[in-house]
């Protein structure tokens, strides 16, 4: 199902006041090659369409005075470092107008036949030296609502930080005189020690996120379900009654998805089932990072069990395996900061691995430009070649977790979809 859309050419929003012109070094985490791409999200608002583009554009210009590196460009130095050239060239901005109502498109909720890509900037993912680090498209609909599409360079910010920046823009759009949290670059705070040895990986060694996927079609099929808050609470209560200790929403739901996937794909005794996710490590950095730090600050957590054992496992065991992986995180981060990174680099992600992204706790759902928070927020994945599960938001007013998955091939799709529906209806 398509819809008619008229787009402006890309213009560039620059800081509203003069800002420093300089070259800034990125952190070790920022410079992972797998991050040099655009992360795409859409944010659907019921009101404000008539004024949204003008007000957001002006607030962006003000916000860039504080976040001036975002108005720059990436630069590959002659000695192999990746830098940010604070050139003040600006971020990309597109105004668009759709000839329909948001209701006609179900607020871009769930229907994959609706091309969400029209709400975003082009199809390019890898960020070159000439590309803006952020492009925003504001699309007005005839009902008076609008959709803000974000293309954010992952090299500069992780999800938490991009939500913080967007929240700052919203504060300024509402007339707040300055950001409630002032941004701080401080990328040097994430610089592991260099370990002297003959095979030293050096200070630029980094535990990267999953490697860039191969370009070929993996054949992974989508399954998307909403897990109501009541179901989540029942699962958490079941675990605490059995073990005497609480578990988080992430642990309970990730455990169920991991178990059900192992069953659906028929994992065998000679196969190893892996689970990988990226954890926020701000609480574990010593000395603590400044509150306004807005760089990448995550670390891979991975765990593995016998595939057939996982398929037979109950909720308690699967949650315990996840808790065990998380419990290692403080020590793993400390070892990484000391330079001992060799064993922490994740393996290649195969079909036996499930990569989970917890996107639902970043704060995007609360961002208010002056017309109320969004009624729908969703990531727009650009690649379906890694078996993945994203924790996102169900559409307002529903409470709970939306699971967006691309983690099974066609011959396993029906079995997995049936198990996921049973989870949603538990």
301-359, pLDDT tens digit by residue?
999 999 999 999 999 999 999 999 999 999 999 988 888 764 445 556 789 999 999 98
Query: What is the arithmetic mean of pLDDT over 31-51?
Result: 92
Asked if residue 374 belongs to a domain, the reply is yes
pLDDT at 350: 87
Q: Which pLDDT band, with edges at 50, 70 and 90, does 237 fall under?
A: very high
Residue 255 shares a structural domain with residue 115: no
Residue 146 shares a structural domain with residue 269: no
Asked if residue 202 belongs to a domain, the reply is no
pLDDT at 199 over 50: no
Backbone angles phi, psi at 410, to 5 degrees: -55, -40
**Catalytic residue flag (residue 368):** yes
Residue 175 shares a structural domain with residue 232: no
Domain end, chosen from 183, 212, 234, is at 183
Residue 225 shares a structural domain with residue 103: no
Asked if residue 362 belongs to a domain, the reply is yes
pLDDT at 343: 40
Asked if residue 192 belongs to a domain, the reply is no
Asked if residue 147 belongs to a domain, the reply is yes
pLDDT at 132 over 60: yes
Residue 166 shares a structural domain with residue 229: no
Considering the chain, what is the average pLDDT of its residues? 90
Residue 253 shares a structural domain with residue 128: no
Q: Catalytic residue among 340, 368, 413, 426, which? A: 368
Q: Catalytic residue among 30, 43, 151, 154, which? A: 154
Read off the pLDDT of residues 174-196 as tens digits, 9 standing for 90 and up: 999 999 999 999 999 988 876 55
Residue 117 shares a structural domain with residue 261: no
Domain end, chosen from 131, 156, 183, is at 183
Share of the chain above pLDDT 90, in %: 75
Residue 147 shares a structural domain with residue 264: no
Domain end, chosen from 154, 183, 212, is at 183
Dihedral of the alpha carbons of 359, 363, 364, 368, in degrees to the nearest 10? 170
Asked if residue 188 belongs to a domain, the reply is no
pLDDT at 253: 97
- Report the CATH number at residue 168: 3.30.559.10
**Lowest model confidence (mean pLDDT) among 79-93, 105-119, 251-265, 343-357:** 343-357
Asked if residue 124 belongs to a domain, the reply is yes
Residue 410 shares a structural domain with residue 266: yes
pLDDT at 156 over 70: yes
Residue 299 shares a structural domain with residue 420: yes
Query: What is the arithmetic mean of pLDDT over 143-161?
Result: 96
Residue 144 shares a structural domain with residue 262: no
Residue 234 shares a structural domain with residue 145: no
Query: What is the arithmetic mean of pLDDT over 190-210?
Result: 54
Read off the pLDDT of residues 277-292 as tens digits, 9 standing for 90 and up: 999 999 999 899 999 9
Asked if residue 213 belongs to a domain, the reply is no
pLDDT at 34: 84
**Catalytic residue flag (residue 154):** yes
CA 252 from centre of chain:
20
Range of the domain at 120: 5-183
pLDDT at 2: 66
Q: Number of folded domains in the chain?
A: 2
Read off the pLDDT of residues 5-30 as tens digits, 9 standing for 90 and up: 999 999 999 999 999 999 999 998 99
More confident residue, 78 or 195: 78
């Amino acid at each position: 199902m398509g819809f008619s859309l008229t787009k402006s050419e890309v213009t560039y929003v620059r800081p509203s006041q003069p800002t420093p012109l300089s070259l800034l070094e990125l952190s070790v985490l920022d410079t992972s090659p797998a991050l040099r791409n655009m992360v795409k999200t859409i944010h659907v608002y019921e009101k404000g369409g008539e004024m949204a583009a003008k007000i957001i554009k002006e607030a962006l210009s003000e916000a860039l005075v504080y976040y001036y590196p975002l108005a720059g460009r990436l630069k590959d130095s002659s000695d192999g470092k990746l830098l940010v050239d604070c050139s003040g060239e600006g971020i990309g901005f597109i105004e668009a107008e759709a000839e329909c109502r948001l209701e006609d498109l179900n607020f871009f909720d769930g229907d994959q036949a609706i091309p969400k890509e029209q709400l975003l900037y082009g199809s390019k993912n890898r960020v070159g030296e000439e590309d803006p680090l952020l492009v925003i498209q504001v699309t007005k609909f005839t009902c008076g609502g609008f959709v803000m599409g974000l293309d954010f360079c992952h090299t500069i910010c992780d999800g938490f930080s991009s939500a913080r920046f967007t929240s700052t823009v919203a504060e300024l759009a509402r007339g707040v005189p300055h950001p409630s949290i002032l941004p701080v670059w401080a990328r040097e705070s994430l610089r592991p020690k260099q370990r002297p040895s003959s095979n030293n990986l050096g200070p630029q060694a980094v535990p990267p996120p999953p490697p860039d996927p191969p370009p070929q079609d993996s054949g992974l099929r989508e399954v998307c379900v909403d897990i109501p808050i009541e179901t989540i609470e029942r699962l958490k209560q079941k675990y605490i009654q059995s073990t005497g200790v609480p578990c988080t929403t992430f642990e309970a739901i990730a455990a169920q998805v991991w178990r059900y996937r192992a069953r659906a794909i028929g994992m065998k005794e000679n196969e190893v089932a892996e689970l990988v996710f990226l954890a926020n490590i701000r609480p574990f950095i010593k000395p603590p990072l400044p509150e306004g730090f807005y760089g990448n600050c995550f670390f891979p957590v991975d765990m593995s069990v016998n595939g057939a054992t996982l398929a037979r496992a109950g909720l308690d065991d699967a949650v315990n395996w996840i808790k065990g992986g998380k419990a290692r995180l403080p020590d793993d981060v400390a070892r990484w900061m000391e330079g001992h990174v060799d064993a922490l680099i994740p393996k290649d992600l195969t079909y036996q691995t499930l990569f989970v992204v917890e996107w639902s706790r970043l704060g995007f759902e609360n961002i208010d430009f002056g017309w109320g928070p969004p009624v729908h927020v969703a990531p727009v994945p650009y690649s379906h070649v890694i078996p993945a599960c994203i924790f996102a938001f169900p559409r307002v007013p529903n409470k709970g977790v939306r699971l967006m998955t691309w983690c099974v091939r066609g011959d396993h799709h029906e079995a997995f979809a049936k198990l996921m529906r049973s989870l949603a209806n538990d």
